[in-house]
Amino acid sequence: MNQVMIETGVVESTPAALLADLQELRDNAAYRFDRLLDVTAVDRGETLELVYRLHSLQTNCDLVVKASVDSAKPEIASVSGLWEAALFGEREVQDMFGVVFIGHPDPRPLLAPEDGFGFFPLRKNYKLPGRSGQAGR
């Protein structure tokens, strides 16, 4: 990774390297991203793009780390060991996109009912039911 330090720079990572990359970003004295502000995902069709929004209180810099996982088998390492904020953020992504976060200590649904929705509402293949109940608007 380059030493990007612009406002809201974007860094691409891979599912395999994500944990190590984020650990580096958190612990390396040159970056010191001590906060994970948000975890979310974007459905890109074939892949699900996970978005980790980091912030450093020391340097007041933002950084977005992205990692794409396969939509058919979305699995990625949990970063909840690095930032506790991921405990909630990853559970939300799990409810909404069906991403499995390996190593998450409490992978129960958070916003979804206890047994889940039965579908993943924020994926593009889920169509909102219309006013009369049919799918799609």
The least distance separating another protein from the CB of residue 121, rounded to whole angstroms, comes to: 5
**Tokens of residue 47, six digits:** 């892949």
What's the CA gap between 97 and 99, in Å, rounded? 5
The least distance separating another protein from the CB of residue 19, rounded to whole angstroms, comes to: 16
Rg (CA), the chain: 16
**Which CB atom, from 16 or from 45, has the smaller least distance to another protein?**
45
Q: Which of 96, 106, 52 is nearest to 74 (CA)?
A: 96
Length of the chain: 137
**Which CB atom, from 17 or from 85, has the smaller least distance to another protein?**
85
What's the CA gap between 117 and 35, in Å, rounded? 30
The least distance separating another protein from the CB of residue 62, rounded to whole angstroms, comes to: 8
The least distance separating another protein from the CB of residue 40, rounded to whole angstroms, comes to: 4
**Which CB atom, from 8 or from 23, has the smaller least distance to another protein?**
8
User: Footprint of another protein on this chain (CB under 8 A)?
Assistant: 8, 34-38, 40, 42-43, 51, 53, 57, 60, 62, 64, 83-85, 87-89, 92, 96, 109-113, 121-122, 126, 128, 137
Query: Between vectors from CA 41 to CA 87 and to CA 9, what angle results, nearest 5°?
Result: 95
